[in-house]
Homo-oligomer: A and B are copies of this chain.
Amino acid sequence: MKKLLILCCAVLLSGVAMAQQALWGASPLVSPEINTDNTVTFRYRAPKAVKVQITGDFLPTQKVSTPFGEMDAPGVADLIEGKDGVWEFKTEKPLSPELYSYSLIVDGLRVNDPSNIYQLRDVASITNIFIIGGQRADLYKVNKVPHGAITRRWYHSPSLDMDRRVTIYTPAAYDKNTKERFPVLYLLHGMGGDEEAWATLGRTVQIMDNLIAQGKAKPMLVVMTNGNAAQEAAPGESSIGLQAVNMQMPRTMEGSFETHFPEVVKFVDANYRTIANKQNRAIAGLSMGGFHSMHISKQYPDMFNYVGLFSAAIMPQQGVTSPIYQDLEQKLATQFAKKPALYWIAIGKTDFLFQANVDYRKMLDEKGYKYEYYENEDGHIWKNWRIYLTEFAPMLFQTKK
């Protein structure tokens, strides 16, 4: 046993692991602790700190002042110092089923919870996460169901003149039934995101595994592209190295990504057992990805039979001249004349793009174009995009070919 312990210690000491504390220093903290009534307790050891706070999406939002006016931001609550310098905060009420994220603020500085290794990166911020199970949130968990596979690989884009990284989910049935062909959902991220966003923040693997296992969604591939035309891959995964992430992502909404999209479809159809026709292709995206989905699906009206706009940006910026954005009305007329099986628009009531979507639906209504609409609470946040995926995926590929 001593030999084993030495091995453990050596493992922990390797690198810069300071985790030996957990073995022979202070007792390890449990944080977050999800209590039996679904209240949650957070703990942080900081004997010298003057103030320890928590900010997270389970706290009531607060108004923050920005150059563009007031906006909602996650609320902040104080932790109380107890013995041994351990600060603690327990939520006032039980939390509803959901995947939540949070950070701690120690004397004004944002830090991650060292007791919680589960983190997600959203653009340039890394936050801790936890899940309150039950209801829809059970779809976000890894459950004992047949698991699909997730692959990060590369395709060549002739028009963008580069190799580009793509994330592809294949359902459990894909590897089990090796003669069968499958439909494909193309799932697009928002501004600041990349080919990792849906797989990590969006819980796509868990949602698809669970929906398919429950018989609620058909087995399908999900292809998660990188929508920044100038970017080979997510931060850290491309030849530019471990650069700092900033919001300067040229070529995000200027037509290049949309123009190149058939190259992705061609790659997927050439390398996977897909059913390579419109009836078996869907495209959906969040925010900028909704914008991309809207413009790609009308530009290539014979490519996708199912379209999902999640909290979508709609109109191109002024001054952008890509042919993709021209003749909008005529292209929509062509697309809707071909009667897509589903044109689905979803948005939250407090989303800053809410009015843009009202205007867009008004236009569709005036033309008599058929779409379905899903409206819920909250705004432009991942909570909603996960919900939209759980609503959208079950509607796909249910009609006979």
Contacts and interface: CB of A to CB of B under 8 A. Distances in A.
> In the complex this chain forms, how many copies of it are found?
2
Nearest to A114: B110
Contacts of A57: 15-16
Interface string A298-311: 00000000000000
Contacts of A379: 10, 14
A259 interface: no
Interface stretch (A144-152, A212-220, A327-335, A367-375): A144-152
B72 A24 contact: no
Contacts of A233: 142
A367 B133 CA distance: 58
A247 B8 contact: yes
Given A12-B247, A16-B101, A17-B123, 10 more contacts: A3-B317, A10-B379, A15-B57, A15-B122, A16-B74, A18-B110, A30-B244, A107-B107, A149-B151, A149-B153
Interface stretch (A88-96, A124-132, A358-366, A387-395): A124-132
A66 to B, nearest CB: 6
B9 A123 contact: no
A49 B8 CA distance: 33
Interface of A: 1-20, 22-24, 28, 30, 45-50, 55-57, 64, 66-68, 71-74, 101-103, 106-112, 114-119, 121-127, 129-131, 133, 141-144, 146-154, 163, 165, 172, 175, 190-192, 201, 233, 235-239, 241-242, 244-247, 253, 271, 287-288, 313, 317, 352-353, 379-382
A16 B130 CA distance: 13
Contact of A175 (B30, B46, B238, B271): B271
A4 B238 CA distance: 25
